Structure 1
């Protein structure tokens, strides 16, 4: 049952990639173009650091799959692509391994094929501390993702219906492990209140994982004979909305959900993300063209992100947070309703210039 469900997830996720897509709020984030801020490409670094973690690049392959023979092959190829490009990678939910240890190799292949890379284990908020340690040890994980997914579980025919214990279990896991803990949604977003809450639970990083990418509530509803949970399709907030909502919270943020290209990566970094993940688009490339095609896509994305930083005058991904941004459309309306000021984002360089004039700083 679990293996079949994992294969169904891949099939239904690809159907979403091939089908019509709704409004993507990354398109409502625009860089103000300044024609004379460009720098030399040789001065650009893609390295990023947060919560004691250092990555050579700010793009990562986010959690996808594992638990069946077919998904084990997918994980093998994803790991090879990560190894060849230096991109960090997260496993899919390892709950299947806890239920059936015989599928361990569909997850351990991530480390076997990528022995020196940054690999992230993924568990749900119901996982026991013992099982969390099993997951970390199986793939020699450098970090741990705990995913939260109430909308998915609600639409899932055999899903969980009890969520009140999640905060306590997350806190227990975070205090028990010795690797950074990432709290991750699965495509419905993390509100400011949620980010503040998980910070108090001892989580190291939050991946906002917003609406706009793979819709797992829609996937689970697609497994229902009657499809009676269609009203949950598109539930939640987008990654740009979540990043704006969480401004000023003292917790490192990652962003995923609806990331389609290097410009979306740059937008998320400019909104404060330390790293940006994608899943569905990478999976589509892998299944269409094989591992070489995915290596080519990742290499192109990294090259184009460096080109964008060069044009925008950002020597590092963190420097993108100094670029002027315009927030428009429905995303601007979201900000207005949530009491988020967007004007200062459009005047970052003017504010920095005024500060330099006041202090006499040359930086």
Structure 2
């Protein structure tokens, strides 16, 4: 097995290990920030749980649920079963699903089936292809064709690459490459961080480049800097670099506060429960995405464990929306939300209008 395939196996193993044995909060630094985001209880919601509308859209693509199974893996023979299980659950629950980075499949057709299996198992679902920010338009089109994708996810992961012994060291020209892919891709583009957070400044650059959907993917979920330090065998990693990034709630709040026209936001990073997803919708996301907790269930219990976890996730999301008085994803973006603690201080210093968030009219 070549280095790239071995890396795929290492990532799955260590991502599951991170979920099972996450470092203590003191060692890991602030989390995703959801504990600082508080939805205001609506004692008279005038809603029926079964009638809450979970449909949403991202970059013009309709989603039956505001929950995405985010990019995890692909590119090695022995991860095909993971994507098969995830695709089966996505098909049953009507969830969009992203495949892992397809660079391996583009370079080696022998492992392309580890990605193609997703479309084969879920022929009618919403699938996101996945390439790096250094891909060419031709590679982006090939990735879309490989899985017959509805959306193209372009991932940003400079902190991970710098911690990876064999990773990239030169990131010049990435914004121009993204702009070219946006212009030439046959499907809408979603630009996604990989657990380090998109700032408002980068969101503006992406919007100017024509991007119409961003997954802010902040700190608080699976830590790929930690994973790469483990792969490299570092005995004394730099904690400031290992815990680099913007907590997810902070990233989402500051980008949403910009109000950039026709820029849809996805929140990922530390979203483990339906109530976390509800908070993300209240802060301005059109959808929430989960990966690490899903992978852990798949590794422990296969498709059955993933199904049970995501069914409960959706049930809890509906409950949180009802308790906040919101009958739809759009309405959830108008409910009052109070932001305190580290996240509140971050937002205050970054100019987010917390009073406006807290004093919305309940619906």
Query: In structure 2, how many angstroms separate the alpha carbons of the residues matched to 1:264 and 1:209?
Result: 14
Output one character per residue of 1:208-230: Cα deviation in whole Å (capped at 9) or x when no partner: 00000011111111111335643
Alignment of 1:1-363 (within 5 A): 1-21=3-23, 22=25, 23-24=30-31, 25-227=33-235, 229-231=237-239, 232-246=241-255, 247=257, 248-250=259-261, 251-349=263-361
TM-score (normalised: structure 2): 0.94
Q: Who is 1:358 aligned against?
A: none
Shift of 1:339: 2.0
Q: Which moved more, 1:303-312 or 1:116-125?
A: 303-312
Tell me the distance in 1 between the aligned counterparts of 2:50 and 2:164: 49
- Runs of 4+ in structure 1 deviating by more than 6 angstroms, as ranges, are none
Inter-partner Cα distance in structure 2 for 1:50 and 1:285: 27
| Partners of 1:229 and 1:179 in 2: CA distance | 40
CA-CA distance at 1:99 after TM superposition: 2.2
- Partner deviation per Cα, 1:277-327 (whole Å, 9 max, x = no partner): 000000011111110121122122112212222222211112111111111
TM-score, normalised to structure 1, is: 0.94
Report the alpha carbon displacement of residue 5 of structure 1 after superposing the two structures with TM.
0.4
Q: Distance in 1 between matches of 2:189 and 2:348?
A: 32
C-alpha displacement at 1:249, in angstroms?
Answer: 2.3
- 1:178-229 Cα deviation digits (max 9, x unpaired): 2110010000000001111101111120000000001111111111133564
Conserved in 2, the CA contact under 8 Å of 1:218 and 1:230? no
Q: Distance in 1 between matches of 2:20 and 2:311?
A: 23
Contact 2:68 2:290 (C-alpha < 8 Å) held by counterparts:
yes
CA displacement at 1:37 relative to structure 2: 2.6
Task: Point out the structure with max Rg over C-alpha.
Answer: 1
Give the gaps of 5 or more residues in structure 1. 353-363
CA apart distance, 1:38: 4.2
SS at match of 2:232: coil
Aligned residues: 351
